[in-house]
Chains A and B, each alone.
Chain A
């Protein structure tokens, strides 16, 4: 079963944000390369959108 993650809260309006995408981001530095998921070939960034004001946030997906 998928684990539940904490919803991001919009820093602009305080609404709960919707996690609508995981984007594979390619490492651009040696430091980034250390965090790389070798199975996927990059680092996952979770993309969150605020339904209230349209703000966007991202955070590391970890897997």
Chain B
């Protein structure tokens, strides 16, 4: 296996002002940073150039594309808006394709109500699959998010540390396995 450190960026998938998902994204980023041998960074979609006069690979941002090329796995933090994902998250995800193939993805759902984004996760999984990403079977669900973090983003419920740990264990296993496959296992053709 090659010696490059794994790259697992965290995508903050909303542009809404006052978004509580930012706290969840920073928390996940901090949990990844505690692990050796993994590079991570926050990709805030509100900071990306996002034209709306075209779509798909027609709006590809070279910098975002490069980050996706180098990524071995993605942590996608998404709030649930009207039972689904923010349209701009889909808009930016659709801007790449080959960059995602055979890479791992884990979804972190965030909601103001009690369900922790379970509906947005169910909605996002078919999109992830079509993009060529491989979704893991662990999620992190931040329900009642205003009670999980204080206004400064400090975690109020320590149970999320062990949940994030399980999620990241699986994501990293999948990222390593898929990297080995991308590098070494040829498609029969």
Contacts of B167-189 to chain A: CB distance below 8 A: 181-189
Give A26 to B2 CA distance when docked, in angstroms.
33
B89 contacts chain A at the CB level, 8 A cutoff: no
| B98 pairs with A22, CB closer than 8 A | no
Q: Which B positions have Cβ atoms within 8 angstroms of A? A: 2, 4, 56-58, 69-70, 97-99, 101-102, 132, 181-189
Return chain A residues, CB-CB under 8 Å to B57: 28
Residue pair B189, A21 in contact (C-beta under 8 Å): no
**Which residues of chain A have C-beta atoms less than 8 A from B97's C-beta?**
23, 25, 45
- CB neighbours (8 Å) of B182 from chain A are 18, 20, 49
Extra pairs beyond A22-B187, A22-B189, A23-B98 (20, CB < 8 Å):
A18-B182, A18-B185, A19-B189, A20-B101, A20-B102, A21-B102, A21-B132, A23-B97, A25-B97, A28-B56, A47-B101, A51-B2, A51-B183, A51-B184, A54-B2, A54-B69, A55-B69, A56-B69, A56-B99, A57-B98
User: Is B186 touching A47 in the complex (CB atoms < 8 A)?
Assistant: no
Q: Is the CB of A5 within 8 A of B183?
A: no
Given contacts A51-B183, A56-B69, contact A2 B101 (CB under 8 A): no
